[in-house]
A and B are shown apart, each in its own frame.
Chain A
Amino acid sequence: FYLTPPQVNSILKANEYSFKVPEFDGKNVSSVLGFDSNQLPANAPIEDRRSAATCLQTRGMLLGVFDGHAGCACAQAVSERLFYYIAVSLLPHETLLEIENAVESGRALLPILQWHKHPNDYFSKEASKLYFNSLRTYWQELIDLNSGETTDVKEALINAFKRLDNDISLEAQVGDPNSFLNYLVLRVAFSGATACVAHVDGVDLHIANTGDSRAMLGVQEEDGSWSAVNLSYDHNAQNEHEVKRVKMEHPKSEEKSLVKQDRLLGLLMPFRAFGDVKFKWSIELQKRVVESGPDQLNDNEYTKFIPPNYHTPPYLTAEPEVIHHRLRPQDKFLVLATDGLWETMHRQDVARIVGEYLTGVHHQQPIAVGGYKVTLGQMHGLLTERRARISSVFEDQNAATHLIRHAVGNNEFGTVDHERLSKMLSLPEELARMYRDDITIIVVQFNSHVIGACQNEE
């Protein structure tokens, strides 16, 4: 069984999406040129989600990748809702008042976000009313709290993450008279999702990360080579600080049982996540909700199961770690990706592959004969080989697709091996998850000219 190159391409390109920030008067005033994103499923259905949107009432652009586990419900909910929570957290008091007044008097609402979605990225229609009410409660509280201070992006991000996770938890506890919705909110709460979100506004880049997805900055050195700068820390057992934090939060008696086999309570890979109420609620609460819940929930062994050594919940938080970075002209791009990518590729390789892709690898040195003795035949061979190489690079119009091609198809020499690519992509559904994870990638390209100009102004 063998896939032809066009078949491989159609699989790889099925979910690709590109967005270019429109230019005004020939001048692009945004520090973001645009982004490419793509996903390759291993689970069926895929449990990863992605989101991208432009804030309309404040400046800036939001981009995020979400890696779901125990189903995709939580990742889906977070991908729909989180950016609204962030945007609302960033809004000035007057705008919040205006929005609230509009809702009160039934007037048209100011648009808050402009989404940039792939046709396959969906929003659940049924839950929108419920989600909206929760969001409205949030901004009403923000209006009441009016601190009068200008909003700090870092704080806004942390508040938004925590608030959303809280709402997910509350909605599940309260339930909903509509049985479909009731089941949905429970599935959201009992599944989990990590999130890695970037907020770009001019030269200010904030990364808010919860879990083991990763943000990486691609930097072009003066000599033209590429290097990678991490803009997030993985929240998992490999991160000493994270292990220390978890241990600090619980009594010493639990120290041994907290992290087993590199997993939280021996079960969960990421140490921070949305949802996953099984690691957050008390045993009593879990039992009550499950028992009063619909039958589907009761039949599910996973939801009924209580983690071992479960003494002092919550063990899990959705609070993100936020890193602020001031963009420099040499910062050319940002890669946000779920762990599916980072398991297969080193960040240094990612930086090089994307960097070379974006600057066009036709940057190949031109050949000059000079004083060498070259025959026509040799030259011809050389040229045909160069041509073949170039054409494989230009197959992809999307940096994320190009990266996935490498992640899945790279051989030991670091070049794409079509045979390997074909084998990996033709694995049957049930086997695919053994060889690779869902991969979701967003590559954001920065406008060095705008960034340089911003720097000079300051």
Chain B
Amino acid sequence: RLAAGTTRFCAGIVSTARHVSIELKMADYSNKLYQQLEQETGVKTGYVKTGSISLAQTQDRLISLRRIASSLNVMGIPCEIITPKQVAQLHPLINIHDLVGAMYVPEDALVSSANVSLALATAASRNGVQIHERTSVSHVTVQKGRVTGVETDRGQIQCQYFVNCAGQWAYELGHSGEELINIPLHACEHFYLLTHPLKEPLANNLPTIVDPDGRIYIRNWQGGILSGGFEKNPKPLFTEGRNQLEIHNLQEDWDHFEPLLSALLRRMPDLEALQIMQLVNCPESFTPDMRCIMGESPTVRGYFVLAGMNSAGISYGGGAGKYLAEWMVNGYPSENVWPLDLKRFGTLQSSRTFLRHRVMEVMPLMCDLKVPRWDFQTGRQLRTSPLYDRLDAQGARWMEKHGFERVKYFVPPGKDLLDLDQSKTFYKPDWFDIVGSEVKCCKEAVCVIDMSSFTKFEISSTGDQALESLQYLFSNDLDVPVGHVVHTGMLNEKGGYENDCSIARLSKRSFFMISPTDQQVHCWAWLKNRLPNDSNLTMEDVTWKYTALNLIGPRAVDVLSELSYAPMTPEHFPSLFCKEMSVGYANGIRVMSITHTGEPGFMLYIPIEYALHVYNEVMNMGQKYGIRNAGYYALRSLRIEKFFAFWGQDLDAFTTPMECGREFQVKLEKGMEFVGQEALLEQKQNGVYKRFTMFILEDHDADRDLWPWWGEPIFRNGHYVGKTTSSAYSYTLERHVCLGFVHHFDEKTGEQLVVTTDFINQGEYEIDIAGQRFQAKAKLYPFSSLFTHRRRKDEVELSGCQGE
């Protein structure tokens, strides 16, 4: 039945106050869509523009709200930060004594979610869509990796495309066919309260209240209130499958609701005398990273998914539908939806135990403060390097990417950091000095970083097939002498980065490809779908076979040459070179003269059984050169101050090499056609509409001011021109560095114009961090003085693709 799932019980709040920019865009589209829906379809949707107020009980919360306010404002969505007094004027019942401020979004709305669905269905039917209600899908039929039809209890239906938007049933439906589609989501009980009307019924245009510190939301409902929340101790359900067939209102659990009820009465003490109507318990589905899931399955073409709304389905519904429709019709959506792409997950996130534990963490997080550098605590230690225990014993602190544990930094013995909860901050973090000393060691001596999480593929063929296919799929020229490493983009038809990787030519006919950790599923699917179906051409995922150690620093040369009895100086081992050699007793170590940071050094790809040996040898030998362990935070600081873009953070499918100063990684005249060539040629002729730029914050005090993160609006001569994509403190410059894209909007029409080098260089820039603007200096090229070795320009390694 339509809207019979969680939609039927949805609270119907349409709110654009979102942290992630793509979610914000979806919510904005939904809001505008619902507004005109009644007029278009004649179906009453109950749309009321009430506005919403998000309350802050702490200064940190207010900072968080200010950040959202900044991004809403530059998108043209009205929004303001207001004082507690103004809150009281907007809503009569609120107790404001414990508030420090609030954010008011006047255009947020309320709808009846079931009626919105009905209106959408009506509109669809008018355009020829057939809707079969009360029909159950038993499975999806697949032939040769493509969807061919759907088997239902009322017979077969032929189709080319299938969209699994079965909400909390999506996981099971994905597992029902022969070809498993992993859709990692898990249901949790969600409670909200309905009351009878007040003596003096509440107006139906009263703003919705969100009190994240109290973990609750409150909206007016038929003269009374509707209030629910996201408790600290959620109750996950249906872990073992056996989901109910039709959604029912589950058992009410008042004891469980008690903390939320206390928060409600604290916020609105006058409600004490209000009569209870019902406590509704409707399951909601949550995903492992709090973002919804959409896109095409990596294994079955034509199988699309849209599910896991993390209880914001009504806010995202309209926008998500739009992007998915574009995706199905055009082959790609009109915005970068990588943060929501199904392919960011693999099979490893589909364990029911993992999902159960993770959603228990995710649901309370809905209300928790979103601070920079936050890591999930559940579902950890799944994929680890063989060196995990060794590093852990030396004080490693860990973060996780795609299930892989990676070191953030090493806490020196005798030094303690703050507890997890207390370490949450928007200001200078407690590890500042620790990372500083790791960076210093990378610059002056040598550091070793375990970077085993990278996705590693080997592509080889009997003849020239591998080279030919890769030349077509990658923008740089891969027909290089054996032993050379090439940084290259894997572009789409529009010239945008689908992946950014380093490829080593191991032999005439085989290549070793290194991509970011979370590319494991996406890149595999992309290549699988495009490589010719030729049994003489093989591609293997060898991620698990190698441990990767990054030796960074001027003394890396000395350590490695002592261990291998081979000269490693630039004359013998030039930059961007790859060679199998022995290190210690171990033979067959792939040594590459890249470090992903622009610092001198080497990457060592070690067959895992030698990992411990090589690590021990390196550490022993390195002692006299002052070697130490370092983590990804140091790496990040190094790569950002060198202006290295990183795929997934700075680069996405809508960014071309031309737009980020990487023309030198594109060989337009390599003698054969490649994907995205046309688009790049056009850009080369006509110029680009955005430009990747580096900003150095001028009047920013790292000790006292809020730190930049990413997503901060950039202003040029007072006008909004784009957003930052990443930032880090540069210990060398002793300044914050932000990377981001600069657009050129026509002042009158808002139309996008070509961005020229002059345009970038001739502006005065400011970066807006939670409402406070800091002056910034824009640069299009990194500081050359930072380089210790001068190299020819095209030899300069500008990758950084494998950053965080």
Contact = CB atoms under 8 A, between A and B. Distances in A.
Interface string B731-763: 000000000000000000000000000000000
Given A376-B264, A380-B265, A366 B251 contact: yes
Contacts of B279: 369
A367 B255 CA distance: 8
A374 B276 CA distance: 6
A376 B195 contact: yes
A376 B274 contact: yes
B273 A375 contact: yes
A387 interface: yes
A377 B272 contact: yes
Interface string A357-391: 00000000011110001111101100110110000
A387 B258 CA distance: 9
Given A369-B276, A369-B278, A376 B254 contact: no
A379 B256 CA distance: 12
Interface string B250-282: 011111011001101100000111111011000
Nearest to A379: B276
B364 to A, nearest CB: 19
Contacts of B272: 375-377, 380
B265 A366 contact: no
B276 A376 contact: yes
Contacts of A369: 252, 254, 276, 278-279
A366 B279 CA distance: 13
Contacts of B253: 366
A380 B258 CA distance: 7
Nearest to A374: B276
A384 to B, nearest CB: 7
A383 B271 contact: no
Contacts of B258: 380, 383-384, 386-387
A383 B275 contact: no
Contacts of B195: 376
A362 B710 CA distance: 47
Interface in B189-203: 193, 195
Contact of B254 (A373, A375, A377, A379): A379
Nearest to B269: A377
A197 to B, nearest CB: 42
A374 B253 CA distance: 15
A309 B276 CA distance: 78
Nearest to A386: B255
Contact of A375 (B193, B255, B275, B278): B275
B251 A380 contact: no
Interface in A325-342: none
Nearest to B195: A376
B273 A383 contact: no
B265 A383 contact: no
Contacts of A380: 258, 261-262, 265, 272
A376 B278 CA distance: 11
Q: In this complex, which of A373, A376, A383 has the most chain B Cβ atoms within 10 angstroms of its Cβ?
A: A376
Contacts of B264: 376
By CB atoms of chain B within 10 A, which of A383, A384, A386 has the most?
Answer: A383
Nearest to A377: B272
Interface in B308-341: none
A234 B377 CA distance: 57
A379 B272 CA distance: 9
B255 A376 contact: no
B194 to A, nearest CB: 10
B276 A383 contact: no
> What band does the interface of chain A fall in when counting residues whose beta carbon is under 8 Å from B?
10 to 19
Nearest to B264: A376
A186 to B, nearest CB: 58
B467 to A, nearest CB: 56
Contacts of B261: 376, 379-380, 383
A368 B273 contact: no
Contacts of A376: 193, 195, 261, 264-265, 271-276
Interface in A377-436: 377, 379-380, 383-384, 386-387
Contacts of B274: 375-376
A152 B271 CA distance: 72
Nearest to B273: A375
Contacts of A384: 258, 262
Contacts of B193: 376
Contacts of A368: 252
B215 to A, nearest CB: 16
Contacts of B275: 373-376
A210 B254 CA distance: 51
B255 A377 contact: no
Interface string B684-725: 000000000000000000000000000000000000000000
A379 B252 CA distance: 13
B276 A366 contact: no
A415 to B, nearest CB: 20
A364 to B, nearest CB: 8
Interface string B281-321: 00000000000000000000000000000000000000000
Nearest to A381: B272
B252 A383 contact: no
B255 A387 contact: yes
A369 B261 CA distance: 14
B709 to A, nearest CB: 38
A367 B276 CA distance: 13
A56 B258 CA distance: 50
A367 B254 contact: yes
Interface string A132-157: 00000000000000000000000000
Contacts of A373: 275
B255 to A, nearest CB: 6
B649 to A, nearest CB: 45
A388 B193 CA distance: 23
Contacts of A377: 265, 271-273
Contacts of A375: 272-276
A225 to B, nearest CB: 23
B671 to A, nearest CB: 66
B565 to A, nearest CB: 55
A379 B264 CA distance: 12
A380 B262 CA distance: 7
Interface in B212-265: 251-255, 257-258, 261-262, 264-265
Nearest to B258: A383
A368 B250 CA distance: 12
Contacts of B276: 369, 374-376, 379
A366 B255 contact: yes
Contacts of B271: 376-377
A369 B264 CA distance: 18
Nearest to A387: B258
Nearest to A364: B255
A386 B262 CA distance: 14
A377 B269 CA distance: 9
Contacts of B254: 366-367, 369, 379, 383
Contacts of A387: 255, 258
A380 B265 CA distance: 9
A375 B199 CA distance: 13
B268 to A, nearest CB: 9
A380 B274 CA distance: 12
A367 B251 CA distance: 10
21 contacts: A366-B251, A366-B252, A369-B252, A369-B278, A369-B279, A373-B275, A374-B275, A375-B272, A375-B275, A376-B193, A376-B195, A376-B261, A376-B274, A376-B275, A377-B272, A380-B262, A380-B265, A383-B255, A384-B258, A384-B262, A387-B258
**Which 10 pairs show the lowest CB-CB distances between chains A and B?**
A377-B272, A383-B258, A367-B254, A374-B276, A376-B274, A375-B273, A376-B271, A369-B276, A380-B261, A375-B275
Given A376-B272, A380-B262, 8 more contacts: A366-B252, A366-B253, A369-B276, A376-B275, A377-B265, A377-B273, A386-B258, A387-B258
Interface of B: 193, 195, 251-255, 257-258, 261-262, 264-265, 271-276, 278-279
